């Protein structure tokens, strides 16, 4: 995956880690392949529950989150759902902005439009890989 899946075209992340705490991020097969190609075993960084492969939590945060530096160890290769964040999909509502993100109120109209486009593509891919009830 590359920058085509980015919502933000700027690098203002506050490195607060709120998006990495107790993550339930669903992984696409392509996410898993990319991470495995970095030398990680799927059972090392992911867990299968609720019908999906999801990022694993260690000590209350994502396996790849470094709480000392506030950074992601695989940032350039992070999963699609992480790239789209803070745009999220809320069941029964649709695309939304995660208000837990300190930068949620700074999203521009162009970033919102791009994020909605990407979250819809992400949902389609999830349905394709995991089934229509996703």
The answer to whether residue 133 sits within a structural domain is: no
* Between residues 67 and 5, the one the model is more confident about: 67
pTM, 2 dp? 0.88
User: For residues 93 and 128, what is the distance between their CA atoms, to the nearest angstrom?
Assistant: 21
Domain of 80, in residue numbers: 3-128
**pLDDT of 40-91, one tens digit each?**
999 999 999 999 999 999 999 999 999 999 999 999 999 999 999 999 999 9
Mean pLDDT score, 83-100? 93
Question: What's CA 100's distance to the chain center, in Å?
Answer: 14
- Would residue 134 count as lying in a domain? no
Task: Give the pairing of strands 46-49 and 52-55.
Answer: antiparallel
| Residue 102 bridge partners (DSSP) | none
* For residue 124, pLDDT beyond 70: yes
Band (10; pLDDT cuts 50, 70, 90): low
Q: Is residue 68 part of a domain?
A: yes
Query: What was the pLDDT predicted at 12?
Result: 72
Total domains in the fold of the chain: 1
């Amino acid at each position: 995956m590359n920058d085509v899946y980015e919502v933000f075209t700027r690098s203002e992340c506050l490195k607060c880690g709120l998006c990495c705490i107790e993550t339930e991020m669903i992984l696409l097969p392509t996410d898993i392949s990319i991470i495995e190609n970095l030398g990680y075993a799927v059972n090392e960084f992911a867990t299968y529950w609720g019908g999906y492969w999801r990022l694993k939590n260690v000590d209350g945060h994502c396996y790849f989150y470094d709480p000392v530096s506030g950074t992601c160890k695989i940032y350039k290769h992070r999963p699609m759902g992480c790239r789209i964040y803070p745009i999220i999909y809320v069941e029964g509502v649709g695309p939304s902005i995660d208000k837990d993100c300190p930068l949620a109120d700074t999203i521009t109209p162009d970033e919102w439009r791009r994020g909605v486009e990407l979250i819809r593509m992400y949902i389609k891919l999830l349905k394709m890989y995991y089934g229509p009830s996703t």
